[in-house]
């Protein structure tokens, strides 16, 4: 979507943008078994399993919407038999899975500690880890993160074989990747930045340079030239990998913009309340982790597609190689965005204030109707007939909004999207033949009528299955006030 000429705003590449105001729930699990994690990628065995051999899902790393465990089995034949060794402590605090990657540490490990030290004072912290604790605490930034929480290597425990636990406190995570965040996560991280952050710049705009960083994700040829142009324009050039952790906690500010190519360093914006900035993307896409952090933290970060960027090489398992056609143009583009305070140019999203027209039912390319089964309220497509089946109606409104509802006023849910409610608001585009395609305002992903009857909102562009015929209704199909 474009807000102004020459600016291509990047799209959120996945769903999972739920924000919860209440704190996460904490549980006490009795008589469970700890199964250790093997080195390397996520395996299918590790986790905390209850007395019945079921995975304690609150204690496992999960990702995505719909949410999925990262490799863990939902059940296991191993249960807390007395034949297994018993843990020496009567009670532990579960500290989650320790990830040695900076960005994923912030999004996966740190959210377990939102309740702060008082909640687990005097307890050993039981964790899972793909590396030994000694090797993890040899990573300076990781050891310092825990030191800010008053924790050291000896506070943590990892068992190397199945072990019975008498009692385990599990604080629900305050952030789940590509899925949800609690306000508690932002409060917790903001407090860390306030208490321990060290200033790295004055009031000049900051550019986070990746030019000298040996990234495992991407390399951008021409960024050195961008840096030179921005430095002459008065930007403060900062290489995040050269900073201490305390300095990284102050990379972002609510009064001066932080800019750069989006990457792990942009996770640091969670340590500042309401930060502002410009993030350049390479492919026009941004992970919902960044969008979710921004939402829970009231951040104003504008994600824009880098002009004239070319993907030169992509091999799975290797860093992607990009090239800037005209680095001077990229620098000028960024300078213009900062001068215009582009982070303040937000979309006006008030679909509930829009005037809507007549009601239509929607016919798919499969000659089926958009409908719900009242058992769940999930929007699907089918014959439109049945005891619990109710057709979905749409009203088209101003500013490209569409309002989906039913005659019975049930709460609707859309797969692979955050939309729920008696009325679900989506954007629409219309063909010359009158057919419309419906897409999420948050992710720009389109509804797709799959042959199996499902209707997920996850397609990057509209083709035949993403377009619907409008069939006029003679009967009012909504009790809702549109």
The domain tally of the chain equals: 3
Task: Give pLDDT tens digits for 438-466.
Answer: 999 988 899 999 999 999 999 989 999 99
Instruction: Write down the pLDDT at residue 143.
Output: 97
Q: Establish if 189 belongs to a structural domain.
A: yes
Asked whether residue 339 falls in the same domain as residue 190, the answer is yes
Torsions phi, psi for 478 (to 5 deg): -150, 135
In this structure, is residue 5 part of a structural domain?
A: no
**E strands, 331-423, in order:** 356-363, 369-373, 379-382, 389-391, 393-397, 401-405, 412-413, 420-421
pLDDT given at position 348: 65
The whole-angstrom separation of Cα 6 and Cα 9 is 10
Q: Is residue 477 part of a domain?
A: no
- Is the pLDDT confidence value at 81 over 90? no
Question: Is the residue at 2 inside a domain?
Answer: no
Q: What percent of the chain has pLDDT over 70?
A: 96
Q: Which residues contact 15 (CB under 8 A, 6 or more apart)?
A: 65, 178, 288, 416, 417, 418, 440, 442, 443, 445, 457, 458
| Residues 338, 395 share a domain | no
Residue 444, token pair as written in the block: 């720009």
Question: Do 324 and 373 reside in the same domain of the chain?
Answer: no
Same domain, 238 and 91: no
Q: Which domain holds residue 200?
A: 11-15+185-344
Q: What is the mean pLDDT of the chain?
A: 91
The answer to whether position 124 is within a domain reads yes
The burial class, CB within 10 Å (0-12 / 13-18 / 19+), for 66 is: exposed
Q: Is the pLDDT of residue 124 over 80?
A: yes
Domain shared by 340 and 464, yes or no? no
Buried b or exposed e, range 150-189, using 16+ CB within 10 angstroms: ebeeebbbbeeebbbbeebbbbbbbbbbbbbbbbbbbebb
Closest CA to 101 of 133, 142, 157: 142
Instruction: Establish how many alpha carbons lie within 13 A of residue 446's alpha carbon, considering only the half-sphere containing its beta carbon.
Output: 19
Please give the average per-residue pLDDT across 368-396, as a whole number: 97
Torsion angle of the four alpha carbons 297, 298, 300, 306, in this order, in degrees rounded to the nearest 10: 50
DSSP structural state of residue 354: S
Kindly report, residue by residue over 45-69, the tens digit of the pLDDT: 899 999 998 999 899 888 887 777 7
pLDDT at 346: 66
Instruction: Supply the pLDDT for residue 185.
Output: 98
Using an 8 Å Cβ cutoff, are 236 and 250 in contact? Answer: no
At 14 the pLDDT is 77
- Does 29 lie in the same domain as 163? yes
Span 417-423, mean pLDDT? 90
Last residue of a domain, one of 344, 363, 398: 344
Per-residue model confidence as pLDDT tens digits over 260-299: 999 999 999 999 999 999 999 999 999 999 999 999 999 9
**316 pLDDT above the threshold of 80:** yes
Q: What is the DSSP letter of 275?
A: -
The yes-or-no verdict on residue 90 having pLDDT over 70 is yes
Q: Is residue 444 part of a domain?
A: yes
Same domain, 190 and 337: yes
Q: Are residues 38 and 94 in the same domain?
A: yes
Within-domain flag for 203: yes
Whether residues 30 and 144 fall in one domain: yes
**pLDDT level of residue 475 (50, 70, 90 thresholds):** very low
Same domain for 166 and 28?
Answer: yes
Sheet holding 18-20, edge to edge: 18-20, 180-182, 175-176
Q: Do 249 and 131 lie in a common domain?
A: no
pLDDT of residue 1: 35
pLDDT range class, residue 478, cuts 50, 70, 90: very low
204 located within any domain: yes
CA distance 180 to 186: 12
Cβ proximity of 302 and 342 under 8 Å: yes
Give Cα 178 distance to the centre of its chain. Answer: 3
Last residue of a domain, one of 173, 202, 217: 173
Return the pLDDT at 162.
Answer: 94
Q: Decide which of 173, 202, 231 is a domain's last residue.
A: 173
User: Contact at 8 Å (CB) between 397 and 403?
Assistant: yes
pLDDT tens per residue, range 148-192:
999 999 999 999 999 999 999 999 999 999 999 999 999 999 999
Residues 333 and 369 in one domain: no
Measure the CA–CA gap between 402 and 396, rounded to whole angstroms.
5
Q: What is the dihedral of CA 20, 265, 147, 47, to 10 degrees?
A: 60
Question: In this structure, are residues 351 and 424 in contact, taking their beta carbons and an 8 Å threshold?
Answer: no
The predicted-structure confidence for 188-231, as pLDDT tens digits, reads as follows 999 999 999 999 988 999 999 998 887 777 899 999 999 999 99
Q: What CATH number does the domain containing 444 carry? A: 2.80.10.50
CA separation for the pair 251, 270 (Å, rounded): 10
Q: Is the pLDDT of residue 259 over 50?
A: yes
Does the structure show a pLDDT above 80 at 2?
no
């Amino acid at each position: 979507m474009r807000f102004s000429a020459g600016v291509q705003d990047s799209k959120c590449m996945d769903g999972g943008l739920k924000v919860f105001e209440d704190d996460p729930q904490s549980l006490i699990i009795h008589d469970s078994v700890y199964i250790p994690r093997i080195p390397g990628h996520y395996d299918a065995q590790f986790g905390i399993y209850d007395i019945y051999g079921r995975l304690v899902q609150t204690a496992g790393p999960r990702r995505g919407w719909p949410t999925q465990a990262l490799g863990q089995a939902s059940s296991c034949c191993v249960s807390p038999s007395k034949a297994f060794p018993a843990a020496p402590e009567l009670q532990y605090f579960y500290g989650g899975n320790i990830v040695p990657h900076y960005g994923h540490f912030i999004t996966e490990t740190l959210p377990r500690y939102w309740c702060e030290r008082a909640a687990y004072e005097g307890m050993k912290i039981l964790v899972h880890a793909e590396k030994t604790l000694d090797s993890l605490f040899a990573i300076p930034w990781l050891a310092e993160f825990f030191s800010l929480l008053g924790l050291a290597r000896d506070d943590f425990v990892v068992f190397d074989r199945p072990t019975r636990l008498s009692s385990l406190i599990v604080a629900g995570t305050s952030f789940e990747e590509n899925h949800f965040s609690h306000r508690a996560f932002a409060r917790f991280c903001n407090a860390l930045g306030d208490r321990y952050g060290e200033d790295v710049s004055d009031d000049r705009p900051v550019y986070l340079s990746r030019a000298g960083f040996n990234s495992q994700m991407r390399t951008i040829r021409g960024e050195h030239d961008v840096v030179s142009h921005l430095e002459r324009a008065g930007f403060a050039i900062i290489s995040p990998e050269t900073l201490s952790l305390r300095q990284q906690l102050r990379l972002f500010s609510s009064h001066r913009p932080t800019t750069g190519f989006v990457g792990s360093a942009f996770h640091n914006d969670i340590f500042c309340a309401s930060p502002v900035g410009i993030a350049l993307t390479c492919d026009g896409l941004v992970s919902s982790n960044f969008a979710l952090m921004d939402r829970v933290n009231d951040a104003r970060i504008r994600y824009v597609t880098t002009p004239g960027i070319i993907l030169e090489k992509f091999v799975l398992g290797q860093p992607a190689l990009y090239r800037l056609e005209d680095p001077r143009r990229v620098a000028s583009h960024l300078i213009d965005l900062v001068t215009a305070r582009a982070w303040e140019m937000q979309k006006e999203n008030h679909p509930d204030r829009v005037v809507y027209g007549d009601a239509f039912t929607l016919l798919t390319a499969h000659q089926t109707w958009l409908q719900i089964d009242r058992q769940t309220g999930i929007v699907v497509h089918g014959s439109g007939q049945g005891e619990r089946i109710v057709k979905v109606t749409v009203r088209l409104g101003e500013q490209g909004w569409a309002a989906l509802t039913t005659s019975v006023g049930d709460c609707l849910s859309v797969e692979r999207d955050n939309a729920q409610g008696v009325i679900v608001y989506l954007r629409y585009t219309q063909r010359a033949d009158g057919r419309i395609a419906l897409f999420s305002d948050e992710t720009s992903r389109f509804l797709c009528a799959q042959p199996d009857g499902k209707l997920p909102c996850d397609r990057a562009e509209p083709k035949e299955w993403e377009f619907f015929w409008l069939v006029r209704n003679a009967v009012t199909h909504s009790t809702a006030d549109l």
